[in-house]
Chains A and B, each alone.
Chain A
């Protein structure tokens, strides 16, 4: 266990270092001058005053060698200081934490919704593979994969906000305003979760220990409840963690369409505006959370399925 924790901590540190350095380099390896991008994010317009460019570059330390700039940020970060946003000149933490709270809420709701839908559908499919119900469920849920969020979101707005007038079109005010963005984000996880549960159920139903249990006199229903379903759900924990990590920073389209002030928008805007400290702070938090959640998922997986314990160690 100690070896496992050590390995994961090392992974976390490496991931933070690599991701923060990669984000740091983005403004320098993409076309355009980072300082001009910062200025244009504050005062729209193409023509930029050269003296302002020089002054801002100097005051932000952007004339220093890249290595010096990165090491300065890294040093501050490990003392708990995420720095000031280049654009707003406010502490990065004050922007990242509220956005993270919003996104965590949105992602949790989306995945809870996805699990609530996928579990019964996957179990029904897995217990009757090849049946009409299985085919219908598979067809419908697989179709969700082909529905991009920028298409689903306006359709949901059309139906629930414009036609039925039961939900708001956008915003992040109360539970009702979270329904459409959560539903939009949940569709693809529903598809993957259903597929994973179905496969897990089919595998578990054919396992030797289930056959043995039935041979010992356990009824069909009891064998499903005690052995098939619990074992069939094991793969879901890992999949759940992967989606959780992915949606933390990957919900930008939904956040823009529904005007949700989350991490996706924050990271997108910060990269577009060359706001390096904000982008670095945001990415580091997302990466750390992603590594943490997947580590937790591995523990859960181990708890549910002791046979993987050796591989974890």
Chain B
């Protein structure tokens, strides 16, 4: 299998081969909780994979940095373990009418500048996000009509149509609340204006953000004296820093560095399902992929075990469908698809497929591993008589043709929860007939009906059942071939205490995060 794989980027390969004596200790697990006592004089260093680009605009991805660093807090919070939204700066909420949600604001909270958190300050912060020129995905004028203060402690969020997911939207980091003094014209200054356990005190542009403990944190005693969030975009460098001890936590470790870190003393490697599935998108609107049997044949021809083991070196798991098995909406009976070449050949024959022209697969170059994935798929399809040519393109270059339906297959991966901790946005945009990002050009009335019902279903468990049903339709019709579920991988020094991995890197430092002296 490896023989036809292209060489990886040399930096990554070198890091794998050389940063430590090779070997797998297999200590990938959820946090190893040390029994050592927390030393509250300790400071912590976190290597993050992204740098703020939009001058701390809360509606931009800079909000992720403010949130993970324990500065920015939201009205609600998504509890990964519980799989539901829980109180944060709001203590409770209710849907007071089909179009209105009322949130009760926590009363004992002060911003880091000493001013009190009030309904008015929440309204001002949320309206600032709504008025942004490049609006947040989770919270903008298309789904929110207004935010108003009902009284001193209650904020009303109104929607243009009934929307059961408003509490989820208010868990998005882009709806983080800063003190009124943070907003001057279009600019945002988070320094001293958050509510979280850590106060940002200085920034080295493009390098790092330094924070000190918030002595007056509403959520209890903060266990660390401070923190430094470093912006290290190179994955091998993040891996090296946690290995040397320069960093205590390194987020998003690349596959090429895993082996070295797993065998490194003093480092624990943590893995969790991420909401990203590498997917072979198929153009359902163009022959021969408009034939469901051809799509099923392609799916059946793929050896996902080999793909996960070779290209992803075990850092991704064979996919079972459009969702990761651990997601609460994945549904029952999530089993990975087994390669079945005989069945694939039968399906092709029944579809009357003739190899008139080679199909084309676009491997976007932004994901270096897709070149190898495409090579594996090319080999798999060759086994059932489908010739395949590979085009490596930048996503921006491929997008116009893909959106217009002028393509056969595309390798890509989407974050299902990129806007909110619920897949409704993804399932709507990507697979409904009028979906704004329907790369597959798939259209099915029953699927649309289910998604429309889910969009107005308040009970989360009922909604998840509908998502599972929608997922089954996508699988039954082999809309795409879902390849592997990617793992979110962090590396943590063993003297870090109470670290809970978040696959989306929204919550990294909390009041409970601690370090022992050694």
Query: A residues near B, CB below 8 A?
Result: 30-33, 36-39, 41-47, 49-52, 55-56, 59, 87-90, 95, 98-99, 148, 150-151, 153-155, 157-158, 161-162, 165, 168-172, 256-259, 261, 265-266, 269, 273
The answer on a CB contact under 8 Å between A162 and B10 is: no
- In the assembled complex, the Cα of A88 lies from the Cα of B186 at a distance in Å of 11
Would you mind naming 26 contact pairs between A and B with Cβ atoms under 8 Å apart?
A31-B396, A33-B396, A41-B54, A46-B399, A47-B137, A47-B430, A52-B135, A87-B54, A89-B55, A98-B205, A99-B206, A151-B10, A151-B14, A153-B11, A154-B15, A154-B18, A154-B19, A161-B240, A169-B240, A170-B232, A170-B234, A170-B241, A256-B233, A259-B231, A269-B53, A273-B53
Residue in A closest to B63 when the chains form the complex, CB atoms: A43
Q: Which residues of B contact A266 (CB under 8 A)?
A: 206
Contact digits for B8-27, partner A, Cβ 8 Å, 1 yes 0 no: 01110011001110000000
The answer on a CB contact under 8 Å between A50 and B134 is: no
The answer on a CB contact under 8 Å between A39 and B241 is: no
The answer on a CB contact under 8 Å between B14 and A50 is: no
Cβ 8 A contact of B142, one of A49, A89, A259: A49
The answer on a CB contact under 8 Å between B11 and A42 is: no
Q: Please give me the 7 A-B residue pairs with the lowest Cβ-Cβ distance, nearest first.
A: A32-B396, A31-B397, A261-B206, A47-B437, A42-B60, A88-B55, A169-B240
Task: Contacts A47-B437, A171-B230 known; list 20 others, CB within 8 Å.
Answer: A31-B397, A32-B394, A42-B59, A46-B399, A49-B142, A49-B436, A50-B436, A153-B11, A154-B19, A155-B18, A162-B20, A162-B240, A169-B240, A169-B241, A170-B240, A257-B237, A259-B230, A259-B237, A261-B204, A261-B205
Nearest chain A CB to B98's CB is how many angstroms away? 25
Interface residue? B236 (CB, 8 A): yes
Cβ < 8 Å to A, chain B residues 133-162: 133-137, 140, 142
Interface residue? B80 (CB, 8 A): no
Cβ 8 A contact of B11, one of A30, A31, A98, A150: A150
How many of B's residues come within 8 Å of A, CB to CB? 57
Interface residue? B244 (CB, 8 A): yes
- In the assembled complex, the Cα of A295 lies from the Cα of B11 at a distance in Å of 37
Given A45-B415, A88-B53, A88-B55: A155 and B436 interface contact (C-beta under 8 Å): no
Q: Which residues of A contact B233 (CB under 8 A)?
A: 256, 259
Q: Which residues of A contact B134 (CB under 8 A)?
A: 38-39, 42-43, 52, 56
Q: Which residues of B contact A45 (CB under 8 A)?
A: 137, 414-415, 418-419
Given A31-B394, A259-B234: A44 and B55 interface contact (C-beta under 8 Å): no
Interface residue? B448 (CB, 8 A): no
Q: Which residues of B contact A150 (CB under 8 A)?
A: 9-11
Cβ 8 A contact of A165, one of B59, B137, B244: B244
Interface residue? B429 (CB, 8 A): yes
Cβ < 8 Å to A, chain B residues 1-54: 9-11, 14-15, 18-20, 50, 53-54
- In the assembled complex, the Cα of A261 lies from the Cα of B205 at a distance in Å of 8
The answer on a CB contact under 8 Å between B19 and A158 is: yes
Q: Which of A171, A172, A259, A266 has the most CB of B within 10 A?
A: A259
- In the assembled complex, the Cα of A153 lies from the Cα of B234 at a distance in Å of 12
Residue in B closest to A47 when the chains form the complex, CB atoms: B437
The answer on a CB contact under 8 Å between B60 and A43 is: yes
Residue in B closest to A55 when the chains form the complex, CB atoms: B133
Interface residue? B57 (CB, 8 A): yes
The answer on a CB contact under 8 Å between B397 and A256 is: no
Interface residue? B218 (CB, 8 A): no
Interface residue? B104 (CB, 8 A): no
The answer on a CB contact under 8 Å between A47 and B237 is: no
The answer on a CB contact under 8 Å between B232 and A259 is: yes
Q: Which of A45, A47, A49, A161 has the most CB of B within 10 A?
A: A47
The answer on a CB contact under 8 Å between A89 and B243 is: no
Cβ 8 A contact of B395, one of A46, A99, A172: A46
